[in-house]
Amino acid sequence: MKGEQFTSGFVSINPNSKIPAAIDYDTGVTNGIQNDPIRLFESCSIMLYLADKYNRFIPKSITHRTEVMNWLFWQMSGQGPMCGNFGHFMVIYNT
């Protein structure tokens, strides 16, 4: 509510100035050198990243994997934007 998502620090993580956003510093070491942190933004991207990183949450079976992807992309394109719109207009019309 303070506009912190528009600061340069936050925009360096998510250039869209939106939440959710995160940085993964636990990226391991390659040839003795610490890998760079990975910036994450957009809920679907974050969920897929975590599922891949931890090899969990997404089934191996094509049938079950497809069902998970159906709901994941529905959340991204349907439920997520609708909740965002609701929150936006609640703030505008209740101030």
Domain count, the chain: 1
Q: Which domain holds residue 9?
A: 1-41
Residue 53, in any domain of the structure: no
Residue 18, in any domain of the structure: yes
Structural tokens at position 68: 């998970």
Q: Are 49 and 38 in contact (CB under 8 A)?
A: yes
Grouped pLDDT means (10 residues each) for the chain, 95 residues: 71 76 92 94 90 93 95 80 69 74
pLDDT for the residue 69 = 93
Residue 37, in any domain of the structure: yes
pLDDT for the residue 1 = 65
Residue 27, in any domain of the structure: yes
Q: Are 19 and 5 in contact (CB under 8 A)?
A: yes
Residue 19, in any domain of the structure: yes
Please tell me whether residue 38 adopts helix, strand or coil conformation: strand
What DSSP state is assigned to residue 6?
A: G
Residue 32, in any domain of the structure: yes
What pTM, to 2 d.p., does this model score? 0.68
Residue 85, in any domain of the structure: no
Residue 86, in any domain of the structure: no
CA 49 to CA 3: how far, in whole Å? 27
